[in-house]
C-alpha cells in the first residue's frame, strides 16, 4: 500500500511541475486540467505542535473563497483574505487527536508564486499524532475530481493518505 501511495505522490508532484506554466504565461496557458492539493504534515516534538504546509492552486482557492464570501476574493489584495482562508481551512482540513477533539489550526504564513499558494498552518498538540484522525476536503465542493494528498511525518515514520470526494477521515497508527 505504501508503494502505491508513494507512486501517486510522485506522479502528482511530477504533473504539478510539468503542468504549472511559468509565472508570465498567458491566462489560457495557466488553466489546469487536474485538481490536486498536497499537504505536508510534521509533528514538532520540541514545540509539541503539528506543522502543516499546504499547496493548492491559487485560482481554485480564490474561487472557493469568492463563492463563500459572495464577493471577489484575491489572495494578495483582499484585506481579510487571511481570516477567510483560515475559516475555510478549519472547515475543510481537520486534525483530531486520539480522543476525537479537533485541534485549532492557525495560519502562520502564506506564499503565492507561479499560480500556486503555499499555506503554512500550525496547531498545538502536546499529545502527539499517535491515533490522530485527518480529514482533507479542500476544494471538494468545487471539483468532483479533486484529489488531496497528505504526507505525515511523525516519530521517524512517514504515512501518506489520499483523499477523494466521498472520503471521510483517515487515522494515523496508534503507536508512533
Percent of the chain with pLDDT over 90: 73
What are 40's strand-pairing partners?
A: 53, 151
Give the containing element (helix H, strand E) for 17.
Answer: helix 2-19
When pLDDT is averaged across residues 14-30 and rounded to a whole number, the result is 43
Task: Give the pLDDT score at 29.
Answer: 38
When pLDDT is averaged across residues 48-61 and rounded to a whole number, the result is 96
Look at residue 13 and tell me if it is in a domain. yes
d(CA 94, CA 54): 13
Look at residue 132 and tell me if it is in a domain. yes
When pLDDT is averaged across residues 134-141 and rounded to a whole number, the result is 96
pLDDT at 51 over 60: yes
4 pLDDT band, cuts 50/70/90, is: low
pTM: 0.79
Cβ atoms of residues 139 and 146 within 8 Å:
yes
157 pLDDT band, cuts 50/70/90, is: confident
d(CA 55, CA 38): 5
What are 123's strand-pairing partners?
A: 50
Look at residue 176 and tell me if it is in a domain. no
Percent of the chain with pLDDT over 70: 80
Domain that holds residue 156: 2-171
DSSP 8-state assignment for residue 129: S
Give the containing element (helix H, strand E) for 164.
Answer: strand 157-164
Number of domains in the chain: 1
How many Å is the maximal CA-CA distance in the chain?
49
d(CA 102, CA 92): 12
When pLDDT is averaged across residues 72-78 and rounded to a whole number, the result is 93
Amino acid at each position: 500500500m505504501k508503494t502505491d501511495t508513494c507512486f501517486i505522490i510522485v506522479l502528482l508532484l511530477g504533473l504539478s511541475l510539468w503542468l504549472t506554466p511559468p509565472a508570465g504565461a498567458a491566462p489560457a496557458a495557466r488553466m489546469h486540467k487536474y485538481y490536486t492539493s498536497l499537504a505536508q504534515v510534521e509533528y514538532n516534538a520540541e514545540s509539541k505542535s503539528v506543522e502543516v504546509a499546504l499547496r493548492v492552486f491559487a485560482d481554485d482557492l480564490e474561487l472557493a473563497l469568492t463563492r463563500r464570501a459572495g464577493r471577489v476574493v484575491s489572495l494578495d489584495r483582499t484585506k481579510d483574505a487571511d481570516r477567510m482562508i483560515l475559516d475555510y481551512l478549519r472547515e475543510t482540513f481537520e486534525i483530531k487527536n486520539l480522543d476525537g477533539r479537533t485541534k485549532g489550526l492557525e495560519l502562520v504564513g502564506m506564499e503565492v508564486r507561479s499560480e500556486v499558494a503555499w499555506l503554512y498552518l500550525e496547531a498545538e498538540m502536546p499529545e502527539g499524532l499517535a491515533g490522530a484522525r485527518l480529514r482533507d476536503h479542500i476544494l471538494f465542493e468545487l471539483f468532483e475530481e479533486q484529489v488531496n494528498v497528505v504526507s505525515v511525518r511523525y516519530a521517524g515514520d512517514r504515512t501518506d493518505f489520499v483523499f477523494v470526494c466521498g472520503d471521510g477521515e483517515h487515522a494515523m497508527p496508534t503507536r508512533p
